[in-house]
Structure 1
């Protein structure tokens, strides 16, 4: 290793002004480049921040519009569902009333007409038997056989 005195002697042998200028010029140009790069980066960052803020604002607006639309659709759907419930309840009530009316009518008809139906059925059976007897008397046997086949 070199001693500190030899390093000082080597530095003293070089011309002092050229060493400082050579060192200062590249450093100052590097600093200028770095400052320029920094300025460009800050400008790009600021632009990106503005773009992000614009995007967020548009997105927030869009979300608000969608929420409002969904809220309106929900209200409309709730109203329609309530109307359907009411209509189904009315329909159920109407059907129950009709069923009760039909049941009551059948009971009334059944009680009143049972005796009449029995008499009418017996009367029709007697008439059919009388008609059969009359036909057998009027038609010869061969015609009766043909009628039975039909």
Structure 2
């Protein structure tokens, strides 16, 4: 059999061999960890820079939109005022033409138009009332012819 002394020296040798690769692995892991931490820090800085740029752009766009909105509101108000002026001018011109026609002894043109429209409406109503009567006569004639 083998003596206990012969096995004892072999253990320290294998332990020493295992320790060397482990320490080098730990050193590599520490280096990788440092490198990853550096990358993370760089990415955080990049992200902060992008956020800052984005915030600046958003502020600029908001300011531009506010200015555009103000400009648009001013232009809309100007258009409203111009349309109101046009409306007033047209009404005044219409009144002037009506007054001129009256002074010349002519009837109010708008009254003539309204009168003509009402006569057309009456004519249409009479025509509608007469149509059923015509149909009744036709039906009676048909019945008489059948008998």
Bin for the TM-score computed over the shorter chain = 0.5 to 0.7
Q: Does residue 110 of the first structure (1) align with residue 98 of the second (2)? A: yes
Distance 1:117 1:43 in 2: 109
For structure 2, list consecutive stretches of 5 or more residues without a partner in the other structure.
Answer: 108-147
Q: Distance in 2 between matches of 1:42 and 1:61?
A: 29
Compute the displacement of 1:108 (Å). Answer: 2.3
Q: For 1:117 and 1:27, how far apart are their aligned partners in 2?
A: 131
Q: 1:4-53 deviations in whole A, cap 9, x for unaligned?
A: xxxxxx6xx5151x322210111122122111101101110110110111
What do residues 62-106 of structure 1 show as CA deviations (whole Å, max 9, x unaligned)?
121121012101101110111011111111111112111211221
TM-score, normalization by structure 2: 0.65
Q: What is the total number of aligned residue pairs between the two structures?
A: 107
Runs of 4+ displaced beyond 6 Å = none
Partner residue in 2 for 1:144: none
Partner of 2:72: 84
> Residue 59 in 1 paired to residue 47 in 2?
yes
Q: Secondary structure at the match of 2:8?
A: helix
* Residue 147 (structure 1) aligns with: none
* Structure-1-length-normalised TM-score: 0.64
Specify the structure having the higher radius of gyration (Cα). 1
Q: Distance in 1 between matches of 2:19 and 2:58?
A: 57
